[in-house]
Amino acid sequence: MTETNNQKTSGSAHLILDKPLVSRHIEVDIEAGQSFSDVLKKYITKPGVAYVVLVNGVVVDQNQIIQPDDEIRCIPQIIGG
């Protein structure tokens, strides 16, 4: 997992997405070196959902750069009550 915003790397990371962010369970290998937000906007297109990005179980900023071997999950967020 990266600690800097601009680091560019090569290799692959693993993305896992579930409902309700996507219509069905997705597991896919993706290229490292891109920002989380750039990658995720291609996969999560449903309106009305927000999410937190976790890499290896730890919360990261979506503007950070994906590193090789990252396991990426997204947790949907709602507020209220």
34 binds another protein (CB under 8 A): no
Interaction of residue 71 with another protein, rule CB under 8 A? no
Tell whether residue 6 is a contact of another protein (CB under 8 A).
Answer: no
Q: Can you tell me whether residue 58 is helix, strand or coil?
A: strand
CA angle 35, 63, 59 (to 5 degrees): 105
62 near another protein, judged by CB under 8 A: yes
Which residue's entry shows tokens 């009550």? 81
Single residue of 1, 34, 43, 76 touching another protein by CB under 8 A? 76
Instruction: State in angstroms the smallest separation of the CB of 77 from another protein.
Output: 5
> Any bridge partners for residue 55, and if so which?
58, 72
Q: Which of 43, 60, 42 is nearest to 4 (CA)?
A: 60
Residue ranges that bind another protein, judged by CB under 8 A: 20, 37, 41, 46-52, 54, 57-63, 75-81
